[in-house]
Chain A
Amino acid sequence: MDFQVVVLAGGFSLVPLVSKEVPKALLPVANRPVLSYVLDLLEQKNLKDLIVVVEGESAALAVSAWISSTYIDRLHVQVAAVPEDVGTAGALRAIHRRLNAKDILVVSGDLVCDVPPGAVAAAHRRHDAVVTALLCSAPVSGPSDSGSSGAKDKAKKPGRYNIIALDPTKQFLLHIAAGAEVEKDIRVQKSILRAVSQMEICADLMDAHMYAFKRSVLLDVLNQNETYQSLRRDVLPYLVRSQLRSELLSNGVQSDENGNGTDAMQNIKILPSQLLANASTPSFHELFALGPDGSASMTRKTHKCCVYIANKSKYCARLNSIQAFSDINRDVVGDANHLSGYSFSAHNNVIHPSAVLGSKTTVGPQCVLGDGSLMGDKCSVKKSVIGRHCRIGSNVKVVSSVIMDHVTIGDGCSILGSVICSNVQLQERVVLKDCQVEAGFVVTAGSEYKAESLAKNEKL
C-alpha cells in the first residue's frame, strides 16, 4: 500500500524520567523501549518502510543505535534528527523532502496501542479524506488499587481530553479542541452545523495522535502557514475548520510534483460520477459541494476530515505524562498484557529465568522481573515492573511501581506508586510514595518522601 509512515519520537517533557541518555522514545515500558510498541505494531501490519524523527542529534544517535541493533533485517528505518522544539508540524516540515508517497501516516512514538493502523488507512482511503485521525475512548483513569490518591487527582484533572464533534454517522470530524485549552465556551461553526444538520459533541474520546494525511495537502498547509508548530493544535484544527471552504485541492494538485494530471476543474467534475460509482449515500461534504440548488452550477470546494474510532476493547494510550507512564506500565503487564510480547506464567507474571529470588519472597501477578535481577528474602512485589540486573535487599516492598535497570535497593525499603530510573541507589529503609527518582540518584538511608520528584540538582 502506498503509505509512508512517519514516527514522531521527539520530546523531553517527562522530567525527571527523560534525560539526554534516555530520550523519551527509549523509556522502558515493561522493560522494552516505548518506541518498540509502535514499531512492532507497524511491523505486524507489514508497514516496514519508516522514517523515525527524533529531536536533537544525540537523542537521534541513541534511538538510531537502538533501532539498528533491534530491528536489523526486520524494518527499513531512516532516523532523521530535527532541531529541538520545532514542534510536530516543524518536524514534518524539516523532513518534507523525504516524503514521497501519496498518503502519509503520522504516528506518535509514545503511542502504546493495538489498533491496526491499516484500519485508519482504510478509512482514509475510503473517504478520500485529507486527514483521518484515530480516536479512542479516553481511559477511565486512575490506578486501580495503588491507593495513591495524589496520582488520582492528577488523572481526574478536568478537560484533559479532547472535545470532539462528529457527524451522526461518526465518520467525519467536525470540530476538535483540546479540553484543557478551551477557556470557557466551545465554539462550533454554524456553517458546518447547517451543512450536517446534527452533530455529536463528545468529551470521552481521545485523539490518539495517529493521523493519515494526504501528502500534497499536508505539505501545502505546512508551507502556507509557516507559523504552524503542532499537528494537533494547528494543522488539524485548520483542516477541520476549513473543510467546507477548501483551498487545498486545487493548490494541492497544482503543486503536485508527480503531476497527477488532473486539475481542479476535473476534480470537481468527477464528483457527481463518483457519487454514482460509490452508490452509497453521499456525505454532507459532497451535498454541500454540489451547491444549494443541487445542480453543479455553484460548486464549492470541500475536503473531508475523517476519524476512525477504535473499538472500546482495544487498548490505546499515550505516554505523555508521568501518570501515563505508570498507568501504561501497569496496563501492559496487566489488563493489556498481549501487548508486552511476553508469555506470562501461570501466576500471570513474568520472571526471567536468570532472576534470583530469596526465600519467602513473593512476586504477585501482573509483575515483570527482568533478567539478572537479584532479590533478597521476604520481599513482596505487586503489580510492578522491575528491570534488569537490579539488586534488591531483604524485606523490600514494591507496589505499583516501575523500577528500571541496574537499581540497587537496600533492605527494608518500601516503594509505592513510584518510578525509579536506572542506576539509582536506595539505601536502607527508604520509604517512597508516588515519587519519581532521577537516573543515578542516591537516596540516603531512612529517608521518606511522598509525591516528590527526586533529581540530582536538588541536592546541590
Chain B
Amino acid sequence: MVAKKGGNRGEDAEDELKREPLQAILLADSFATKFRPITLERPKVLLPLVNVPMIDYTLAWLESAGVEEVFVFCCAHSKQVIDYLKNSKWFGQPNFAVSTIESHDSISAGDALRLIYERHVINGDFILVTGDTVSNMPLIQALKEHKERRRKDNNAVMTIVIKQSKPSSITNQSRLGTEELFMAIDPDTKQLLYYEDKADDRKGTISLDKGLLMDNASISLHNDKQDCYIDICSPEVLSLFTDNFDYQHLRRHFVKGLLVDDIMGYKIFSHEIHSSYAARIDNYRSYDTISKDIIQRWTYPLVPDVQFFGNCASKLERRGMYRASEVGLSRSAQIGPFTVIGNGTSIGSNTEISDSVVGEDCVIGSNVSIEGCYIWNNVTIENGCKLRHAIVCDGVIMKSGAVLEPGGVLSFKVVVGQQFIVPAYSKVSLLQQPVIKDSDEELEYDDNSSGIIGIPSISSTPEKLNDQFGTKLSDSQRRAGSESFLYQVGDGGVGFIWSLGEGGHEEEWRHSVAPIPADKLIEIIRTATDELEISNQDGNFLPPSGELEPDSVDNDSDEDARDDYSYFEKEVEATFLRAVHENVKEDHIILEVNALRLSYNLTSTDCASALFYSMMKLASDTPHDTPGELVKNVATVITKWKQLLKDYLSSIDEEIEVILKFEELCLESTKEYTPLFVQVLHLLYDQDVIQEKAILDWASEKEEAEESDKLFLKQAEKFIQWLNEASEEED
C-alpha cells in the first residue's frame, strides 16, 4: 500500500514538474568593470557582438532551449536595457515571456538574487545565466539529470555547466582570457568537490580536504575545464543567498561557500557538454574569441547568416566572409577571410580588411588597413588609417592617417586626430576616468570583480555622475589633471586617454582583443621555468606528509606580542587624544579602549599602562617652559582624567604596572620626566590614583633589582620613608 502510494506521489510530482513552466533568470549586469570605459555609457549586454547585441544571443538560445519565462534583471543602465527590450520583438512572443526586474542599488549577483527572491516569481528549478552568454547547448539533458538528482537527494541544489578547454600552458589562462580553473569532481556522481578560479600563483599546490577521500574512493582533479557560467538551480539557491547575506559573487562566494560548508550538506553537480557551444564574454579577450567562434559557425544556428532575433541576415560568401545586402564596396577593396560587413557600410578603394567585424552605416575611406578589429556602427574612418586588433565603438571618427595600435579601445564618439597614433592597449573615452582609487581599494576591486559596477546611467544623467564622483574626483585627480589625464588625441581629436592603473599595463595584454605579443610569451616562459624551479624546491622542503612545521612561529611570537602592544598603545593614545580634543564622554572611551583590548587580546593592565602613557604624553606635549609648568600640566591632565584611569586600576598590581610604566617613560621616551619622578609620583598619590600600598610594593620589588635599576627608587627614597612612617603612625 505504502509503496503504491509513494509511487503515485512520485508521478504526481513529476507531472507537477512538467506543468511548471521552465524559468530563467538573466542577469543583465555583469557587476564587473572589465569593459570600461565602454560600459560607462552603454550596458555590457547591449554591446554588439558580430553586429548583434549580446543579450539577443542569450535570449535566442534560452528560447530555443525551451525556456518559457525569463526574468531579465537590470541594474546598471537599467533604462537602456528596458528600452531596448521594449523596442525589440522579445516582448510579446508566444510561449516565451520576457519580463524585467529593475534595481538601482544592487552591487552584485548576490544582491540581484536576493531581490528576485523577495519578488516570489520563481516557482521551480530555473536557469541562471548572465546576459553575455553565447550558447547553443540543449538544456533538456542537463535539466533531466538535475531533476533526477533532486528527486533522490534534496540537497542537490545546483548543476553547473562545464566544457573541455585546456588553458594555455604558457599564460595559464583560457582562450577566453579567464584565469585557469582547478576543479575536483567525483567521476561517478559528477559532484563538484573543489573549485578554485582565482588561482593564487604563489601557492604551488592545491589543498584538498582529506575528508573528501573518506566519502569518495576516487576524485578527478581537472585543470582542463572551463566554467560556462550556465547554472541550473533549485529554488533553494535563492533562499540560500538570502540566508547568507554576505554572498556576493556566484562562484567565489556561493559555490565556494557551499563546498566548504558541510553542515547543511548542499551539493553542487557538474554537467559537461561536449559537442555544443557555451561561453561567456567576460573580458575583451573573450569578446574577440567568441566573435571569431561565431564567424566560424561554432555557435550555429546563432551565426550572422541565419536570422534569429533582431539581426539582419547577411550572406555568407567564400572564405568565411559575410556581407550584408547593401554594402558599398570599391572594386579595389580587399576583404579578407572571416570578416563581417554590416548593412549600409561603404568601403573605399585599396582598403584591406581581414578578420574583422564592421557594423552598419560605417564609412571607411581609401587605403585603410584593418586587421582583427571590431568596428561598430556609424564609424567614420578616413583615408590612410591603420587599425590593428582594436575595438571601435559607435560614432567614432578617425581622421586621416590615424593609427590604432593593438589592444586599443575607442569608446563612443571619440575623435582621433589626423596622423595621431593611439598607443597599444590604450582606452579612449569622452568621459574622464572616474576614480583614482586608493591602492587599498583597488586591490579590493581586483580581488573581487563584483566590486563597483556600472555606474548607473552615466550618459543619461550627468548630474548623477557628478553626485557619485563629485567627492572622488577630488584634488588628486585635478592635480593629476592637465598633464597625465587630459591627453588630447591629436589635432582636432576629442577624448581622454585613460591611464592604466599601476601594474595595470602588466595585465592589460592578457585581456585585450589583441593576440599576446611574442616577447611577452618568451618572458612568461622564462619566469615560468624559474617558478617551477622555486616551487619544486619548496616541495623538497615539505615533509612528505605535506604539513609545514610551525617551529619558526614560536620564535616570533614574542616579538609579535611586543609589536601588538605598541600598536595597541598607539591606538589607545589616538583614542584618548580624540577624547581630549572632541570632548568624548568617558564612558565611550572606556568602551573603545575595551574594544581595542579585546581585538589585540591584551589585559586590562595593558590598558592602564597605555592610558597612563597617553596622559603623560599629553602633558609633556602641552607647551611648557620650566619643569614646574610640566608638573602643573601633569596635574591638570591627571585631575581631569583620573576617573578614566582609575577605571582600569582595579587592583594593586595594575597600579604597580603604572609606576613601572612611568619608570620606563622616564628612562626611554620622555626624559623630561626623569628629574620629576618623585614629584609626579607624589601627585599621583595625592590624587588617589595610586595607593600607598602600591608604591610600597613597588619599592620592595625594586629592592632586589640591580643597582642601575634603582635610580628612581633612590630618588623616591624620602617619599617612601615618609609613607612608611605615616602608615606606622596610623597603626
* Partner-B contacts on A (CB < 8 A): 158-159, 163, 165, 177-179, 181-191, 193-204, 233-234, 237-238, 241-242, 244-245, 291-293, 298, 300
Contact = CB atoms under 8 A, between A and B. Distances in A.
A185 B207 CA distance: 5
Most buried by B among A185, A242, A298: A185
B423 interface: no
A201 B193 CA distance: 12
B535 A189 contact: yes
B198 to A, nearest CB: 13
B214 A292 contact: no
B529 A298 contact: yes
A298 B532 CA distance: 14
Contacts of B528: 292
A190 B203 contact: yes
Interface stretch (B142-150, B219-227, B476-484): B219-227
B531 to A, nearest CB: 8
Most buried by A among B180, B216, B545: B545
Given A195-B169, A197-B166, A203-B213, A165 B545 contact: no
What are the 7 tightest A-B residue pairs by CB atom distance, in nearest-first order? A185-B207, A197-B224, A187-B205, A203-B213, A181-B545, A187-B546, A186-B208
Nearest to A174: B221
B257 interface: no
Given A193-B182, A201-B218, A242-B539, A291 B525 contact: yes
Nearest to A237: B544
Contacts of B220: 198-201
A182 B532 contact: no
B218 A191 contact: no
Nearest to A287: B169
The SS class assigned to the B binding surface is: mixed
A233 B219 CA distance: 23
Contact of B221 (A199, A204, A237, A244): A199
Nearest to B546: A187
A163 B525 CA distance: 32
A203 B182 contact: no
Given A181-B544, A185-B209, A202 B217 contact: yes
Contact of A298 (B208, B525, B540): B525
A425 to B, nearest CB: 45
Interface string B595-615: 000000000000000000000
B584 interface: no
Interface string B376-411: 000000000000000000000000000000000000
A177 B222 contact: no
B204 interface: yes
B206 A200 contact: no
Nearest to B184: A201
Contacts of B169: 194-195, 292
A131 to B, nearest CB: 15
Contacts of B19: none
B214 A190 contact: no
A440 to B, nearest CB: 39
B560 interface: no
A113 to B, nearest CB: 21
Nearest to A188: B206
Given A178-B544, A186-B213, A242-B540, 7 more contacts: A177-B546, A188-B221, A190-B223, A191-B535, A199-B221, A203-B214, A238-B540
A233 B542 CA distance: 12
Given A186-B207, A187-B207, A189-B205, A198 B221 contact: yes
Given A202-B218, A245-B536, A184 B206 contact: no
B187 interface: yes
5 contacts: A184-B547, A191-B204, A204-B218, A242-B536, A293-B521
A292 B170 contact: yes
Interface in B173-211: 180, 182, 184, 187, 199, 203-210
A242 B540 CA distance: 8
B688 interface: no
